[in-house]
């Protein structure tokens, strides 16, 4: 079988091709406005015949759409009296002792939160029916709102979802519709409702992107990485966009585990430094999953790999704050124009430019994407910044690297020390295009005795995609006293879940 792993990042798109005997790798400058263009350019550069090709894709399209607020205009439907569910949230205050707390911007529009009947109680008994006339009136209201998607979350639908299914059948024409009992059939209305809203908010975005990619690769079989480290078909991915929020970083953990296992290292601190951000995680024999993920300030309760991301990468911009202190990130120069040394007109000093000034990237080296290094441009932007902080260019460049190192070291401490792990007991695995430039400094800072830099370190995430298994996770909340719980009842619940997975996988493989 011929395999192609494709990892789309904010700066570069990485490709790893395995033809059954040998491996080819390639890096292409990303095209954030149309990520599929960089993928097709990379495939052309490798000279791959796409007929019968199995492609596994890790993408940041869903993540970026949520972070940038560029999802679909979405209506949220819930029971009467609960339309402010998403706006109220958990009522926790991040600034508890601030008498004038800042109001956080929200993606939810109050006028797009609507109410419906069809309420049941915790036992599944009907409290409020859902007449056809009410569904028709709701559909008419939605038609007047100029929206693309609908998210439905009714109380206790994880016990009985009949009313949610009725609404989906009535509203499904012309809209992307998600119902909470299919997205996350678990108790806690806010988390379930939020996951459903995110799924509808991102669904049309992922549908459009994956459709375009599928049209460009009609004779290939395409799978997409999920946040939990399992892959699924594009058809399923389009319906489960909320499960793709960590699709991009997940491949790197599979690559790290595969590489670590090959040299008998199973306790790993992973450190993926790309052009835009750095992702860190911990592997103690196996991946750690969390249901308390937080993306764009929103709690996301679907299972995902426990990855901590910070805005520090090779393209992170160095700047001076109002107090005259040197800072790095979180803004990035991205792929275009990129760091000044890319020679594409970038005028902001970045971490990569600092390395060029320090001589860690020789002028003779060829950059990924077939770019020639422009040391003079790096010298120019670093010198201008150095003047603002009264330093010489060399010292300023060292300062930029030290600040970036400390940001990443702190992220590694969050995943290790703050959770009771001693970094000395782990091997630091470095990957990503910029990881090798920082791994020794980070290992020294955290007193880690052993660091592992894989052979294909710049494209390890794409390599890891090829090692990831396919799979699907479903869940079901059942609230019951243990002394009233019968094993036969639990067996029935598990059997239903197994049948649901089997049915879904059969449809996807057809």
Tell me the pLDDT tens digit for each residue of 140-185. Answer: 999 999 999 999 999 999 999 999 999 999 998 889 999 999 999 9
Is the torsion defined by CA of 214, 220, 224, 225 positive or negative? negative
User: 452: which strand partners?
Assistant: 429
| pLDDT > 90 in the chain, percent | 68
CA distance 436 to 439: 5
Look at residue 478 in the predicted model and tell me its pLDDT: 85
Look at residue 444 in the predicted model and tell me its pLDDT: 96
When the pLDDT of each residue in the chain is averaged and rounded to a whole number, the result is 91
Residue 493: count of CB within 10 angstroms of its CB: 12
b or e along 188-200 (b: 16 or more beta carbons within 10 Å of the residue's beta carbon)?
ebbbbbbbbbbbb
What's the pLDDT tens digit per position in 220-240?
Answer: 999 999 999 999 999 999 999
**Cβ within 8 Å of residue 2, ≥6 positions away:** 17, 18, 19, 20, 48, 52, 53, 54
Is the torsion defined by CA of 213, 215, 218, 221 positive or negative? positive
Give the least confident one: 28-32, 33-37, 394-398: 28-32
What's the pLDDT tens digit per position in 474-493?
Answer: 888 888 888 888 888 888 88
Is the torsion defined by CA of 199, 205, 208, 213 positive or negative? negative
Collapsing DSSP states into helix, strand and coil, what is residue 435? helix
Look at residue 363 in the predicted model and tell me its pLDDT: 77
User: Helical H runs in 244-374?
Assistant: 247-262, 351-357
Strands (E), 258-378: 267-273, 278-284, 289-290, 293-295, 298-300, 304-305, 307-310, 316-320, 326-332, 366-367, 371-372
* CA angle in degrees (0–180, nearest 5) for 442-360-252: 50
- What is the residue whose two structure tokens read 């300062």? 399
- Residue 153 CA: distances (Å) to CA of 41, 78, 81, 172: 42, 5, 13, 15
Helices 162-171 and 132-143, packing angle to 10 deg: 50
What's the pLDDT tens digit per position in 427-465?
Answer: 999 998 889 999 999 999 999 999 999 988 889 999 999
User: 299: which strand partners?
Assistant: 294
Q: Is residue 234 within 8 Å of residue 207, measured between CB atoms?
A: no
Q: Quick one: which of 139, 163, 171, 151 has its CA closest to 107?
A: 151
Q: pTM of this prediction?
A: 0.89
Look at residue 368 in the predicted model and tell me its pLDDT: 64
As given in the structure block, the two tokens for residue 199 are 């799924």
Look at residue 210 in the predicted model and tell me its pLDDT: 96
Look at residue 429 in the predicted model and tell me its pLDDT: 95
- Residue 176 CA: distances (Å) to CA of 123, 147, 166, 173, 184: 30, 10, 15, 8, 17
Burial (CB count <10 Å: 0-12, 13-18, 19+), residue 181: buried
Q: Quick one: which of 91, 141, 148 has its CA closest to 115?
A: 141
The model's confidence at residue 355, banded by pLDDT at 50, 70 and 90, is very high
pLDDT at 53 exceeding the cut of 80: yes
Question: Assign residue 225 a region: left if phi > 0, alpha if psi is -120 to 50, beta otherwise?
Answer: beta
What's the pLDDT tens digit per position in 465-475?
Answer: 999 998 888 88
What's the pLDDT tens digit per position in 295-330?
Answer: 878 899 999 999 988 888 888 999 999 899 999 988
**Cβ within 8 Å of residue 355, ≥6 positions away:** 361, 397, 401, 437
Query: What integer is the mean pLDDT of 269-273?
Result: 93
Look at residue 509 in the predicted model and tell me its pLDDT: 66
CA distance 90 to 93: 9
Is the torsion defined by CA of 239, 245, 249, 250 positive or negative? negative
């Amino acid at each position: 079988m011929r395999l192609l792993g494709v990892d789309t990042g904010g700066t570069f798109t990485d490709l790893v091709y395995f033809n059954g005997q040998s491996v080819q790798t390639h890096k292409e400058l990303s095209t954030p406005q149309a990520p599929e263009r960089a993928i097709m350019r990379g495939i052309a550069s490798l000279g791959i015949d796409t007929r019968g090709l199995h492609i596994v894709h890790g993408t940041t399209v869903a993540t970026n759409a949520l972070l940038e607020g560029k999802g679909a205009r979405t209506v949220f439907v819930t029971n009467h009296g609960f339309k402010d569910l998403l706006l109220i949230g958990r009522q926790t205050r991040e600034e508890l002792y601030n008498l004038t707390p800042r109001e956080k911007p929200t993606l939810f529009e109050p006028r797009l939160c609507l109410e419906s009947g069809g309420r049941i109680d915790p036992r599944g008994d009907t409290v409020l029916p859902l007449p056809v006339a009410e569904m028709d009136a709701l559909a008419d209201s939605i038609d007047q709102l100029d929206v693309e998607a609908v998210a439905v979350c009714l109380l206790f639908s994880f016990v009985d979802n009949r009313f949610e299914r009725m609404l989906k059948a009535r509203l499904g024409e012309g809209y992307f519709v998600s119902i909470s009992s299919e997205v996350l059939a678990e108790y806690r209305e806010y988390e379930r409702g939020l996951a459903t809203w995110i799924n509808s908010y991102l669904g049309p975005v992922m549908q459009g992107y994956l459709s375009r990619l599928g049209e460009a690769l009609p004779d290939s079989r395409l799978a997409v990485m999920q946040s939990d480290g399992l892959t699924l078909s594009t058809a399923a991915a389009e319906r489960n966009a909320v499960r793709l929020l960590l699709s991009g970083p997940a491949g790197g953990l599979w690559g790290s585990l595969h590489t670590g296992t090959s040299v008998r290292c199973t306790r790993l601190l992973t450190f993926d430094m790309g052009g835009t951000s750095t992702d860190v995680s911990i592997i103690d024999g196996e991946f750690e999953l969390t249901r308390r993920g937080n993306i764009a300030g929103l709690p996301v309760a679907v299972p995902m790999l426990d990855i901590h991301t910070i805005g520090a990468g090779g393209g992170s911009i160095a700047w001076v704050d109002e107090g005259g202190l040197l800072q790095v990130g979180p803004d990035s120069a991205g792929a275009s124009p990129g760091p000044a040394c890319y020679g594409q007109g970038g005028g902001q000093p970045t971490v990569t430019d600092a390395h060029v000034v320090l001589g860690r990237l020789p002028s003779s080296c060829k950059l990924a994407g077939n770019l020639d290094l422009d040391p003079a441009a790096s010298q120019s932007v670093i010198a201008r910044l150095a003047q603002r902080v009264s330093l010489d260019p060399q010292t300023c460049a060292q300062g930029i690297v030290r600040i970036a190192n400390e940001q990443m070291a702190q992220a590694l401490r969050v995943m290790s020390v703050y959770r009771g792990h001693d970094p000395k007991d782990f091997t630091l695995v470095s990957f990503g295009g910029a990881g090798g430039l920082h791994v020794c400094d980070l290992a020294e800072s955290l007193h880690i005795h052993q660091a592992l830099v894989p052979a294909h370190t710049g494209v390890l995430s794409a390599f890891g995609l090829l090692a990831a298994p396919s799979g699907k996770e479903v869940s079901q909340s059942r609230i019951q006293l243990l002394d009233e719980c019968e094993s036969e009842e639990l067996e029935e619940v598990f059997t239903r879940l197994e049948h649901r997975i089997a049915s879904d996988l059969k449809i996807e493989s057809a």
